[in-house]
Amino acid sequence: MNFLKAEWRKLAIINYEVDPEVLLTYLPQGTELDFYKGKCYVSLVGFMFLNTKLLGFPIPFHRNFEEVNLRFYVKKYENGIWKRGVVFVKEIVPKPALSFVANSIYQENYHTMPMKNKICESGNELLIKYSWKDKNWHSIQITADNTAQPMESDSEFEFITEHYYGFTKKDHTTSEYEVCHPKWEFYQVKDHELEIDFGTVYGQDFECLNLQRPISVMLAEGSDIKVKTKKYIG
């Protein structure tokens, strides 16, 4: 059953390599960390949630909004195959009702903050900016070529975007839900700016990212998506 249908568009993705030990306390039971060429990634992701429908119904004033999340990558072995998914450290949205539904039903760590976006096309350039505010404003900004390109097999971009499950740790249980979407196209990034205090937004475990350069920066076009109803796996 589809719990949610929407579009995820213009996904700005900032990737960092981290010590796997940092993530072990966030790891849901039954999953293990997923690595790309021996590297353990966390990603800061900002994007637009558009045309949102919950259980098939549009929710007034909650159809189009920004989201910014910090996530890492895991996998779970089941019936002879690996299910590859993500775990969210924190997800930020601009409306309290969104946080209430996500936290109540999916036990995700959603927080409500003022947010805004800027999406501009000018000639051959595309500028994307997502901003959110706790005590201060934080932001992700990417400038890219305005021509989407197909995903390359076995690429870093494929690894980052081709994780189709969400796993959530809650006390001593793990829940799982599937996210369905086609392969995404990407834009060639030309420049980026990041204004964020990771320690303030995501806690002491991720304060180290303030001193690191991203390992890569990506901009995905996105697509229609479907989020299936969750199930408990342990």
The owner of tokens 């975007």 is 161
What pLDDT, on the 0 to 100 scale, is given for residue 107?
59
CA dist 90 and 209 (Å) reads 15
**What is residue 56's predicted lDDT score, i.e. its pLDDT?**
56
How many angstroms separate the Cα of 23 from the Cα of each of 18, 28, 34, 42?
Answer: 8, 10, 11, 9
The token pair at 78 is 């089941």
**What residue ranges of the chain have pLDDT lower than 70?**
1-2, 55-62, 96-108, 234
Contact call for residues 181 and 225 (beta carbons, < 8 A)? yes
Q: Tell me, what's the pLDDT at 27?
A: 96
CB 176 within 8 A of CB 108: no
Q: What is the pLDDT of residue 98?
A: 63
| N-terminal to C-terminal alpha carbon distance within the chain | 21
The count of other CB atoms within 10 Å of the CB of residue 168 is 19
pLDDT at position 104 is 64
Q: Give the Cα separation of 117 and 115 in Å (integer).
A: 7
